[in-house]
């Protein structure tokens, strides 16, 4: 299969968030996400035998080595195994690879990018939880308090379970008003910027899910602009602070469906 045929195949599955560039017999998919140094994340699609192969050509691990990240620590090794298992990604001589049927290529690219983003986040020198449970508690209680008597449902840790049984894409709080869904992300780290943005793109572009999204930062100034821009570009509304932006958050939670 030639690169122009691959490009037509992906575009036929409808994707607005990727730039597709033919490169010989390979297709380069430039994603809307960036590595921690600001370079765009690129994945490559090629045909090997009867299979389509998605690969990073070893770039993810190479960047970790370049940044002198010790990958042989016990928790990092376990983290990489867990990420690969969750997104069904393998390792081939240092490169991350995944296999896809043509009809499922887009969803496999999305899962592959999720794995790259999470493995890239292992540049952090100390282990941190992806989401601070304390801050998520604060966000949840605020939403709970200001939607009582108006909402039809509130959920903590919402996923699209029928198509995402492993919970790879998650909103910290979901509220429904008469069928109108609001998804709230508690942003506590650079990694959460990436995973929240990816969740928005996954639900919106892959499954055309109707929703409005809000990103609430625990500490907006503590996250480098290149990383916060990931979620700023994906969420409908951004609140740099839970305390200082309560009016904006209450407006987002209003039942009229307006987004400021």
Give the residue-averaged pLDDT of 163-174: 80
Radius of gyration of the chain (CA): 19
| CB atoms inside a 10 Å sphere around CB 62 | 13
Structural domain spans, the chain: 3-123, 134-252
Instruction: Reply yes or no on domain 3-123 having CATH 3.30.1490.
Output: no
The pLDDT score that the predictor gives to residue 156 is 92
Q: Tens digits of per-residue pLDDT, 184-215?
A: 999 988 878 888 888 888 888 777 889 999 99
Q: What percent of the chain has pLDDT over 70?
A: 83
- β-bridge partners, 43: 29
Residue 198 is classified by DSSP as H
Instruction: Reply yes or no on domain 134-252 having CATH 3.40.91.50.
Output: yes
Q: What spatial distance separates the first Cα and last Cα of the chain, rounded to whole Å?
A: 46
> Do residues 64 and 71 lie in contact, with contact meaning Cβ atoms separated by under 8 Å?
yes
The pLDDT score that the predictor gives to residue 260 is 43
Residue 29, H or E segment: strand 26-34
* Average confidence score pLDDT of the chain: 80
Rounded CA separation 93/101 (Å): 23
Indicate the pLDDT class of residue 94, thresholds 50, 70 and 90.
confident
Q: Is the pLDDT of residue 51 over 50?
A: yes
Q: Is the pLDDT of residue 32 over 80?
A: no
The pLDDT score that the predictor gives to residue 129 is 42
The pLDDT score that the predictor gives to residue 78 is 74
> Do residues 51 and 131 lie in contact, with contact meaning Cβ atoms separated by under 8 Å?
no
> Do residues 251 and 239 lie in contact, with contact meaning Cβ atoms separated by under 8 Å?
no
Indicate the pLDDT class of residue 248, thresholds 50, 70 and 90.
very high
Q: Is the pLDDT of residue 65 over 90?
A: no
Q: Three-class SS of residue 12? A: helix
**Among 58-72, 87-101, 199-213, the least confident range:** 58-72
The pLDDT score that the predictor gives to residue 178 is 84
Give the residue-averaged pLDDT of 82-110: 85
- Which whole-number Å values give the CA distances from 47 to 10, 44, 98, 102, 184, in the listed order? 14, 10, 12, 10, 39
Structure tokens at 204: 């919106």
> Do residues 212 and 151 lie in contact, with contact meaning Cβ atoms separated by under 8 Å?
no
Structure tokens at 193: 């910027």
Q: Is the pLDDT of residue 119 over 80?
A: yes
The pLDDT score that the predictor gives to residue 127 is 39
The pLDDT score that the predictor gives to residue 255 is 56
Give the residue-averaged pLDDT of 64-69: 75
Give the residue-averaged pLDDT of 120-144: 71
């Amino acid at each position: 299969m030639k690169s122009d045929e691959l490009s037509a195949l992906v575009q036929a599955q409808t994707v607005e968030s990727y730039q597709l560039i033919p490169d010989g017999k390979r297709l380069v998919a430039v994603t809307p996400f960036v590595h921690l140094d600001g370079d765009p994340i690129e994945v490559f699609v090629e045909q090997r035998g009867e299979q389509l192969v998605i690969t990073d050509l070893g770039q993810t691990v190479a960047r970790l080595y370049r940044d002198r990240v010790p990958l042989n620590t016990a928790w990092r090794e376990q983290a990489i195994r867990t990420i690969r298992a969750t997104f069904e990604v393998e390792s081939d001589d240092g490169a991350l690879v995944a296999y896809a049927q043509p009809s499922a290529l887009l969803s496999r690219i999305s899962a592959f990018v999720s794995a790259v983003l999470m493995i890239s986040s292992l540049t952090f020198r100390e282990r941190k939880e992806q989401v601070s449970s304390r801050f998520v508690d604060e966000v949840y209680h605020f939403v709970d308090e200001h939607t009582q008597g108006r909402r039809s449902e509130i959920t903590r840790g919402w996923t699209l379970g029928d198509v995402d049984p492993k919970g790879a894409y998650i909103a910290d709080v979901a509220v429904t008003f008469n069928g109108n869904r609001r998804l709230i992300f508690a942003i506590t780290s650079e990694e959460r910027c990436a995973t929240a943005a990816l969740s928005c793109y996954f639900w919106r572009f892959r499954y055309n899910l109707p929703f409005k999204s809000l990103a609430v930062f625990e500490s907006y100034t503590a996250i480098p602009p290149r990383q916060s821009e990931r979620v700023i570009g994906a969420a409908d509304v951004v609140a740099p602070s839970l305390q200082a932006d309560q009016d904006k958050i209450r407006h987002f939670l209003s039942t009229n469906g307006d987004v400021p």
